[in-house]
Amino acid sequence: MDINSLVAMANRIGEFFDAFPDIQEGMQGVVGHIGDNWEVRMRLQLAAHLDATAQTGLTPFVERALRTIPDRWRVALTPGVRTSSPL
């Protein structure tokens, strides 16, 4: 999938959760939604983009959520560790 489409999708998710009065709850919502609903390839592509690019195109709220709570959405690439769905 095109990274610009993934960034736009993440930002739309962030728009919803950014409205939560509790910022931590909102950030948990963003990473929870991405971690629970995006397929592994999408999450791997987003992680690579986040790691390699200074100007990610993500809103500050979404970028902060992804960087602050990586264990909730990032895919473990360690052998023997299961992921939520197959590659």
How large is the average pLDDT for residues 69-77?
90
Q: What is the average per-residue pLDDT within 70-85?
A: 70
Residue 73: name the closest of 44, 49, 52 by CA: 44
Q: Is the pLDDT of residue 6 over 60?
A: yes
Q: Which residue has the higher pLDDT, 77 or 22?
A: 22
Residue 78: band (very low, low, confident or very high) from pLDDT cuts 50, 70, 90: low
| pLDDT tens-digit series, residues 15-49 | 999 999 999 999 999 999 999 999 999 999 999 99
- In terms of residues, how long is the chain? 87
Please report, for residues 29, 31, 42, 72, 86, the alpha-carbon distance to residue 67 in angstroms, rounded to integers and kept in the order given: 14, 10, 16, 10, 24
Q: Compute φ and ψ for 60, nearest 5 degrees.
A: -55, -40
- Domain layout of the chain by residue ranges: 3-72
